[in-house]
Amino acid sequence: MASPQPRIGVVTYPGSQDDRDALWALAALDAEAVFVWHAERELPDVDAVVLPGGFSYGDYLRCGAIAGFSPATAAVREFADARGLVLGICNGFQILCETGLLPGALLRNESLRFVCRDVSLIVERDDLPFTRRCTAGRRLVLPVKHGDGRYLPPPDLDPEQIVLRYVDNPNGSVGGIAGVCNEVGNVMGLMPHPEHAVDPLLGSDDGALLLASFVDAAREQVLATI
């Protein structure tokens, strides 16, 4: 029997811009990816959800703040509370922090400059649904492109929740933190863009390690229901 194809929802907010790349990358990694419009009150039948990068609601007030109150975000919260897999990339990470699904906040880059380049990262956790195809300590090269990526953890952040760190901190994040997960480990956010790095033609395919781990985990959700 062929392995089942997981269905992954990619939420499109007004101002999302990486939703298409996320959809393309997930499809390239053998998932069925579907768009979810921000005004939807219920998620379609999906095994995992991606909140993509971009500038939802023009980044007004604070990045991700207004998207945190979208109907689709409320549905994502319910999905996450039921231990559904949720991955937030860049603006998606900012939205997850604003909603409280992930700890901490993302602030203006220390340099006040928009950074747009490839960065090296170190994988801290390899036991998560998002990182299982990596080994801890492995380096990944992924692009970043953000003006508000300085991660500030809450004072009581459990170090176990740190998933990725920058080798050369591009934005002044505390502890060089590039990605974190929630306590349970079913929700993760990161500033770098794995969906822009799934083909060697794009300079790196390291993003495929993260996204394929995520697709594997979503597939297990399907198998669990058969």
Q: Which of 149, 145, 64 has its CA nearest to residue 109?
A: 149
Q: For residues 89, 95, 98 and 104, what is the CA-based torsion angle, rounded to 10 degrees?
A: 0
Catalytic residues: 90, 193, 195
> Is 135 near other proteins (CB under 8 A)?
no
Running DSSP on this structure, what letter comes out for residue 39? T
CB of 110 to other proteins, least distance (A): 5
- Of residues 67-96, which lie at the interface with other proteins (CB under 8 A)? 69
CB of 154 to other proteins, least distance (A): 6
Count of CB atoms within 10 A of residue 101's CB? 21
Can you give the C-alpha Rg of the chain in angstroms? 16
> Is 115 near other proteins (CB under 8 A)?
no
| Interatomic CA distance for residues 94 and 65, integer angstroms | 8
Sign of the dihedral through C-alpha 123, 129, 133, 136: positive
Give whole-number Cα distances, 181 to 31, 157, 185, in Å.
22, 10, 6
Binding mask 26-65 for other proteins (x = CB under 8 A): -----------------------------------xx--x
- Of residues 179-218, which lie at the interface with other proteins (CB under 8 A)? none
CB of 95 to other proteins, least distance (A): 13
CB of 147 to other proteins, least distance (A): 11
Element containing residue 122 per DSSP (H, E): strand 115-123
- Comparison of 73 and 221: residue with beta carbon closer to other proteins: 73
Binding mask 138-167 for other proteins (x = CB under 8 A): ------------x-x-x-------------
Binding positions for other proteins, rule: CB under 8 A: 61-62, 65-66, 69, 98, 104-105, 107-112, 150, 152, 154, 172
